[in-house]
Amino acid sequence: MNHIVSIGTSHHVAPIEIRERLAFSEEQLIESHHHLCELDQVQEAVILSTCNRVEVYAVLNSVRTAEAAAKVLAEFLSRCCQIDTESLKKWTYLHHNLETIQHLFRVTSSLDSMVVGETQILGQVKDAYDTSRSTGSTGTVLNRLFTKAFNVGKRIRSETTITTGAVSISYAAVELAKKIFNTLEGKTVAIIGAGEMSELTAKHLVANGVSNVIVANRTYERAVKVSEKFNGTPLAYDSDLGFLIDADIVISSTNAPDYLIKRQPLADIMRKRKHRYMFLIDIAVPRDIEPEVGKLDSAFLYNIDDLEAVVASNLKDRQHEAIRAEQIVSEEAKRFYDQLQIFQVNPTIKALHQQFRQIADTELQACFYKTTLSDQQEEVITSMTQAIVKKLLHHPMQNLRCAVNDGNADHGQYVQALRELFALDVDDT
């Protein structure tokens, strides 16, 4: 019987310096697939390599135990990444058969991701699978497995809300902005300070429809450098805040010791704006925007703690949804594994029936050749022989199928024994 085995590491078990050593570049992936599938025991393989995980999935034959199957992959990874097997054992995990299936389903459903519910991993797994297929490294089993994994990932996303709700500060700001303005199309964002978080938030806002970006900084050259990333307008920071008249969204993140935006100057700006809504995001510590600004009509002020509270709430909601998603994954993995076992047992059953029928047919023809029987007599003897073959095989095959359906771990040994005892030539494809 074939073994479905995976070996891997991720952010859960290994620091980045270990993940870097185990990672595969795009150039290495093609060659590594060929080397892996050249191993006698390996029938199929998929290598997944991202910034947070490196995993090898494989179908192996000619190995009797899960430990022997895992050893094949561990030695391959050790050779490829030039890391000794003992160190590899410390920083990797192993999965076998049902565990492998359930783990892959969890990965594609983003339940194993650093941020539960993130959407990038499904595309990364698809890319890894496509690369493996292009090298001819996949076959019937992994094609079925990965296709099912993608379907499970899609089901999780459609039947739960695990992917909804911002779980980063920058996305939380975008989420709040959408609630205030309904749409961000045609809005203008003003960045004060041009810090890394401000840039990231502005990037997400632009991706969601904001069309104009103003960058104000005490150092004009820095404002120019940042504004170029957004095809925006650079300005030297002016304490009279006149540059905010056209701003719908304001992001401030500086190291200033005092408030840069105070209530009274902004109140004057708001009057000139005819009190159009303004969403202010204060990411600075200490704060850049005077808290009293939040009391102005049409001004919506959020600081870093407010945004973190939104993120924490969304993460809590995702964790709740993750419980539902885990149940779906467990059910789908068990169902797929059962189907796969039946699928893998059927070729052996078919080969055994075929062998018995061939033996019976050969002996019948020899018998008919030596005797003179009527057509009716030959037909009766043939029917009787076929019935004997069916009855002889009925209970062994029924018990084998029951062992598979009942999850009997020994059924693989039964199949292997049948193949060896009867010298069956079985095509597993």
Active-site residue set: 51
B/e letters for 334-363, b = 16+ CB within 10 Å, e = fewer, are eebbeebbeebbebbbebbeeebeeebeee
d(CA 127, CA 295): 50
12, 15, 21, 27 alpha-carbon torsion, rounded to 10°: 60
Nearest to 357 by CA among 322, 320, 326, 382: 382
Among 82, 80, 57, 75, smallest CA distance to 137 is for: 57
Q: Is the peptide bond before 286 cis (omega within 30 degrees of 0)?
A: yes
Looking at residue 243, its amino acid is: F
Q: How distant, in Å, are the alpha carbons of 268, 344, 401 from that of 98? A: 66, 14, 18
Report d(CA 342, CA 351) in Å as an integer.
14
Cβ pair 110, 118 in contact under 8 A: yes
Q: Which two tokens stand for residue 128?
A: 């890894």
Which three-class secondary structure state does DSSP give residue 4? strand
311 close to 169: Cβ distance less than 8 angstroms: yes
Burial 5-39, CB ≥16 within 10 A → b, else e: bbbbbbeeebeeebbebbbbeeeebeebbeebbeb
Neighbours of 45 (CB within 10 A): 26
Query: 169 and 201 in contact (C-beta within 8 Å)?
Result: yes
Stated as kind and residue range, the H or E segment containing 45 is strand 42-49
